[in-house]
Structure 1
């Protein structure tokens, strides 16, 4: 990605992630414009408050003549008037995950939460643990946790907690988004067949998870659901240390003593006991993953 680019145009700017990154770039002094099919509050007012010029609808003339980097959203497809103009004019374009990688994640300790289910909850829990520990992490979550009040925060902390989606990156890059996130630690909550619009079968899904685990460095770590055979299988090719977490005896970090009530759950992990205001075994697993990642 061009390091010198200071003028960005976002195609599909009003998506939650696109808008958050566009605002973060504006806060860093970049010039940012954008367009979307539907421009309306609260995203439109949020972006306009940052000094970002917005266009409703997609038209070639929305793209500034001096735009240096075009960020094309995941939902954009061939036939979109701006996409076609970008290709015809041979403009420099990238995906949102590429922007995150080069301008926000490089040189950070990136904690990437993946899995078919539980990503948003586990990412939220991990971010909150680090905030309470006064580590002041950046984070990007696929939802808005009640206690955080927003789904993304970009600061200069060395820690970045990010929800790692296995969905594809863009129409021009069919790899999963999470392969761009420079993971130092990866959580794999579970792996099941999902997203039948882009994955042909379970094996196809597992291949994407293998890709991200192959790029975890040797001084990093992979935290797996040790009770899920699919998770254990995909980690075999990883060169990073692996810790299995779960209820079964084979898990290095074994969850025990779990109890569930109407107001939350309680469980032990190693010699420590934890209480969470979340109900059920699934959320105990999410919390155990977040605790283990925070210890890394």
Structure 2
């Protein structure tokens, strides 16, 4: 089968391209910018485009499927050529559904926690050598590629994202998967550039629940009021399995999960991760993994990439990085960090650089998000605001919205780096929260 990727360099797209190459498909692609690690990984598989840019001549009538990434625009010349030839054009999630429509589909959804829960499930199944297809949004230890597609496997586990499917398909990605088994971890308003009101955002989750196949299963977080409302108001038939934060304690810096089988030591920390773990346990149970086997495997789970991930520093200082950028994620990460390191001086750095996080109206969602930290630092780039064509934001507004007068606010990367260099990283503990890189800050030095 011949497939062509428009915008092959994306983190999700290049993983799918590699998975199809491994499956034996003929894969080509284009992009106007490809960064690491996508570039090296595509090159290793022999499917890195020879030159950057869009080339309509690459689009020929013998292509069976064109897969369109979000990075491309509606006026993309390759997309125009594909339409002209009448080729079948898929969004990323649409193509994944085509690959899994004859399998049992397990979809993990929610505003926060979905990557970690999906990663926990895959870790447990991999530990017990259970072979399944999957798609997850973070790099995992023991996995080469974050998409796997086969002809033979009966199950596919999918991380279900509520963001748009493609430039020409404005449905939320997770609405295309039609899950047999689903999980919903939480609902907290995000992507306000697309979902202008909170109700518009919640509506995507109502539709997601409505898309569960008749007689399917929904595992859901009963501690989230919005999730409970969506589940209780659903009109379709499926089995409901609630979950909540399990009992645990912190002893000598180690998290111990309280179970009927005794205390289970874990490598992850934070109440939100224990909640994620409980959701993963229920999903694994539906896949035939007994609790004893689940706990046996989960002890060695060290976390998904950039989810409270420990950074090995040259000076042996204690530093964690977290993908947290949305308010609910920041609050959960800060709470976990403060609980885990009660006696140390805690430094928390947050970079605001998404469309939502730089919107003055949305900033109100960050109220008290960094409370509990002895030193709280927020960084955003004034240049990023200009690039996004957004109005300037004052540091005073940030302090006001965060309801934290002691907040340090930096708007210039060089000034942030100078402040960072003055800190003795061997004293205190540090957490860096961003989906960016703090203007190129090296966290290992």
- TM-score bracket, normalised by the shorter chain, equals 0.7 to 0.9
Residue aligning to 1:211: 207
Residue pairs, 1:266-277, within 5 angstroms: 266-268=256-258, 274-277=264-267
Work out the CA distance in 1 between the residues paired with 2:221 and 2:252: 25
Residue aligning to 1:184: 180
Structure 2, unaligned runs of 5 or more: 287-445
Residue pairs, 1:75-154, within 5 angstroms: 75-103=71-99, 105-154=100-149
Give the direction of change, closer, same or farther, for the CA distance of 1:76–1:232 in structure 2 (3 Å limit).
same
Relative to its length, the structure with more strand (as a share) is: 1
Any idea what the Cα deviations from partners look like across 1:109-154, whole Å, max 9, x if unmatched? Answer: 2221111011111110011111223212222111102343542333
What secondary structure is seen at the aligned counterpart in 1 of 2:19?
helix
TM superposition shift of 1:220: 2.0
TM superposition shift of 1:260: 3.2
What secondary structure is seen at the aligned counterpart in 1 of 2:156?
strand
What secondary structure is seen at the aligned counterpart in 2 of 1:216?
coil
**CA-atom RMSD, angstroms?**
2.3
Work out the CA distance in 1 between the residues paired with 2:122 and 2:203: 28
What secondary structure is seen at the aligned counterpart in 1 of 2:107?
strand
What secondary structure is seen at the aligned counterpart in 2 of 1:84?
helix
TM superposition shift of 1:40: 5.4
Work out the CA distance in 2 between the residues paired with 1:268 and 1:48: 46
Which has the larger displacement, 150-159 or 106-115?
150-159
Which has the larger displacement, 23-32 or 164-173?
23-32
Work out the CA distance in 1 between the residues paired with 2:37 and 2:126: 26
Structure 1, unaligned runs of 5 or more: 1-5, 248-254
Select the residue among 178, 193, 197 that pairs with 1:201: 197
CA contact (8 A) 1:10 1:73 kept: yes
TM superposition shift of 1:83: 2.5
Work out the CA distance in 2 between the residues paired with 1:114 and 1:268: 26
What secondary structure is seen at the aligned counterpart in 2 of 1:136?
coil
Q: Report how many aligned residue pairs link the two structures.
A: 282
Residue aligning to 2:68: 72
Select the residue among 240, 243, 262 that pairs with 1:242: 240
Residue aligning to 1:251: none
Residue aligning to 1:20: 15
What secondary structure is seen at the aligned counterpart in 2 of 1:241?
strand
Give the direction of change, closer, same or farther, for the CA distance of 1:274–1:178 in structure 2 (3 Å limit).
farther
